Amino acid sequence: MTMEHSTDSRGAVVLDGRQGEGGGQIFRSALTLSLCTGKPVRIDHIRANRRKPGLMRQHLACARAAAGISQGTLRGDELGSTTLEFTPGPIVGGEFSFSVGSAGSSGLVLQTVYLPLLFADRPSKLRIEGGTHNAWAPSADFLLHSFLPQLELMGAEVSLRMDRAGFFPGGGGQISVEIQPLSSESSPYEMLSCGERKEVRAWTRSAYLDQHIPAREIAAIRRKFAPRDIPYEEFWHEESSGPGNTVQVAVVHDRVTQVFTGFASRGVPAKKVAHDVAVEAKRFLAAEVPIGEYLADQLLLPLALLAGGRFRTSKLSKHALTNIDVLHRFFPGIVRVQEESEAVDLVEVRLA
């Protein structure tokens, strides 16, 4: 699945969006790496492997956020476009407001710009409107409890607050983020073991739904764990623009927390949503690795740009392997993956 190496007549890095997982990850990672390296980029066949190919609102929000923090230029930034060209300018910190304009993920917009803003000339404050809890995207809770603490170990100061919850399809959520420029070089990151397990806990977030739904979800999770009295909380979001529900399980260790999220959808019983999340969390525990599938994917770019290092994880997803291929287009050979067993990979990333 390795991407072909090519540049266009402008010297831009050219990526084929059909390769790898064929979704939005190629697009977002390319924008981030373009900003951090100053290299222009062109992405063809954007999201070609999706049911609706081309740019959707959340992808446009990512592209325009990238241009906004760098006074960069875009070509092809319109709904449905399958080719986008981006030429970055110098990254400038400050206060920014970005809106997805739909229930698309606010977290994915943040994913596009937080790394470049760590290299900005001054602190940044972001307000991003959109979904906060979306399937196939990092939830606000995942970012807060799983990802940002690992970023802090790399020397980055990024804080996040969820101002309003936003569920699909209503959206209307908002996160506020503060980013401090890097103040010093960080030590290499290493996460080969997760340390002592502290607890497993759960919580639900709901809006405009039957009061019994969270109770059924928590009961389903407790049936999968021992002891069954794992701590839990229910959060209700009257500020939400529409109905929605998520159930989340956190596996908390000394050095790392993994958050697993289930999203309610029409026609799927609440107990099945919760059961599936509990199964996912127990599968992670059985693997005895410190880094779960989704966190592994999120760590690749910051390791390359901030710290370098290595971590043990369950088998890398196609999503993560695609991310590695994009990284190799900008920094050949920067990531090395060693198979420890059929179920475990050791990932080493050198500092760019």
Q: Where are the domains of the chain?
A: 197-287
- Whether CATH 3.30.360.20 fits 197-287: yes
pLDDT value, residue 36: 97
Q: Does the annotation count 275 as an active-site position?
A: no
In the block, residue with structure tokens 């970012």: 143
Q: Where are the beta strands (DSSP E) in the chain?
A: 13-16, 41-44, 73-75, 84-87, 95-99, 124-130, 157-164, 173-180, 189-191, 197-207, 232-236, 244-253, 257-263, 309-314, 335-339, 344-349
CA distances from 279 to 54, 63, 82 (A): 34, 36, 37
Write out the chain's pLDDT in tens, 352 residues. Answer: 444 547 665 778 999 998 887 778 899 999 999 999 999 999 999 998 888 899 999 999 999 999 999 999 999 999 999 999 999 999 999 999 999 988 899 999 999 999 999 999 999 999 999 999 998 899 999 999 999 999 999 999 999 999 999 998 888 999 999 999 998 778 899 999 988 889 999 999 999 999 999 999 999 999 888 767 789 999 999 999 899 999 999 999 999 999 999 999 888 999 999 999 999 999 999 999 999 999 999 999 999 999 999 999 999 999 999 999 999 999 999 999 999 999 999 999 999 9
pLDDT at 283: 94
* Predicted local distance difference test score (pLDDT) of residue 200: 94
Alpha-carbon distance of 29 to 86, in angstroms, equals: 13
pLDDT at 227: 67
Question: In the numeric block, which tokens belong to residue 276?
Answer: 């599936």
Q: Which of 143, 149, 154 minimizes the C-alpha distance to 190?
A: 154
pTM attached to this predicted model? 0.94
Strands 124-130 and 95-99: parallel
Say what the pLDDT of residue 1 is: 43
Q: What is the pLDDT of residue 165?
A: 96
- Tokens for 115? 């790394």
Cis peptide before 231 (omega within 30 of 0): no
Of 271, 146, 266, 286, the C-alpha closest to 221 is 271
pLDDT at position 7 is: 67
For residue 266, the model assigns a pLDDT of 86
Q: What are phi and psi of 319, to 5 degrees?
A: -60, -50
User: Which of the following is catalytic: 45, 145, 253, 319?
Assistant: 319
